[in-house]
Amino acid sequence: MKVALRHKGGEKVKRVWLERVLQNKKMTHQEAANLIGIERSYFTQIVNGRRRPSPEVAQKIGQALGFDWTIFFNCYCGVKPHDNQAATVEPEPAA
């Protein structure tokens, strides 16, 4: 079963960029969730696109992992509705 976030056009996208952030930091979902202060299952749902974080949680994720939290709300990382590929845009480092 492919799990992902729906676009306006009905397409789905997994947050591959977020997985890459974790890989670069050599962190598991559990370690990231602990650092952020949320449940691992909720964090995994965010990564897999099942859930969109609230602005408050997005800020915590961005701060903990070192990127601009608004990427969660910016057109799903540049993926077009007709594109069946997962998002691959890397987030901008937080200022």
What pLDDT score does 41 carry? 97
CA dist list (Å): 12 to 23, 31, 55, 86: 22, 26, 21, 8
Instruction: Give tens-digit pLDDT for 24-75.
Output: 999 999 999 999 999 999 999 999 989 989 999 999 999 999 999 998 887 5
- CA 68 to chain centroid, in Å, comes to 11
Q: What is the DSSP letter of 82?
A: T
Quick one: tokens of 56? Answer: 């408050």
Q: What is the DSSP string of 12-61?
A: EE--HHHHHHHHHTT--HHHHHHHHTS-HHHHHHHHHTS----HHHHHHH
Res. 90 pLDDT band, cuts 50 70 90:
low
Q: Record the pTM.
A: 0.67
Where in the chain are the domains? 12-78
Between 30 and 3, the more confident residue is: 30
Between 23 and 1, the more confident residue is: 23
Classified by CATH at the fold level, domain 12-78 comes out as 434 Repressor (Amino-terminal Domain) (1.10.260)
Instruction: Please check whether residue 29 is in contact with residue 47, taking contact to mean a CB–CB distance below 8 angstroms.
Output: yes
